[in-house]
C-alpha cells in the first residue's frame, strides 16, 4: 500500500488524554458516571449537594431544623451546645458553630427573606457573646 502524502487538507489528529478519548468526551463520560452514581445512591437532585455535605462531612452534629426556630438566642444556644458536645468537628467549638451558621446563611443566598437573615445575623452576635468573644 502506498503511503499518503501529508497535505494541508489532511485532518490533524485530535489530542487525546490518558483515557484515549478527546477532552469533551472525557467530560461527558465523567458526568454520566457521576449521574449514575448519584442515582444508585438515592440522590435525585444534584442541586442538593449541601445536604450531602451536611450528612457526610466532618461537620458537627446539630439539632434537626435548628435554623428554622424563631429566636436568635435559641439558635445560638443550640449551636453552642452542639459544638461543645460534638466529636465531628475539626476546629474549636466556636469556629465550628460559626461556620455552620455561615454555611446555612450562604447556602440560602437570595432565597432567604430579609427578616430571617436579620434573625440569623443576630444569632451570630449572640453566638459571639455566648463564647465570650463579643467585639
pLDDT digits (tens, 9 = 90+) for 43-53: 555 566 666 66
Residue 63 is predicted with a pLDDT of 75
Cα 29–Cα 33–Cα 34 angle in degrees, nearest 5: 120
pLDDT digits (tens, 9 = 90+) for 18-59: 666 665 555 566 667 767 776 666 655 556 666 666 666 555
Largest CA distance in the chain: 85
What's this model's pTM, rounded to 2 decimal places? 0.56
The phi, psi pair for 127, rounded to 5°, reads: -65, -40
With cut-offs at 50, 70 and 90, classify the pLDDT of residue 133: confident
Please answer whether residues 83 and 60 qualify as being in contact, where contact means their C-beta atoms are separated by less than 8 angstroms: yes
The residue ranking higher by pLDDT, 130 or 25, is 130
Amino acid at each position: 500500500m502506498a503511503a499518503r502524502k501529508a497535505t494541508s487538507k489532511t485532518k490533524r489528529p485530535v489530542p487525546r488524554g490518558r483515557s484515549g478519548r478527546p477532552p469533551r468526551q472525557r467530560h461527558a463520560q465523567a458526568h454520566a458516571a457521576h449521574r449514575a452514581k448519584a442515582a444508585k445512591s438515592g440522590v435525585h437532585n444534584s442541586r442538593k449537594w449541601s445536604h450531602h455535605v451536611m450528612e457526610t462531612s466532618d461537620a458537627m452534629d446539630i439539632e434537626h431544623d435548628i435554623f428554622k426556630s424563631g429566636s436568635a438566642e435559641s439558635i445560638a444556644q443550640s449551636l453552642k451546645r452542639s459544638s461543645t458536645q460534638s466529636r465531628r468537628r475539626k476546629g474549636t467549638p466556636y469556629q465550628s458553630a460559626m461556620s455552620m451558621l455561615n454555611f446555612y446563611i450562604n447556602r440560602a443566598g437570595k432565597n432567604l427573606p430579609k427578616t430571617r437573615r436579620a434573625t440569623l445575623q443576630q444569632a451570630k452576635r449572640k453566638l459571639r457573646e455566648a463564647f465570650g468573644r463579643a467585639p
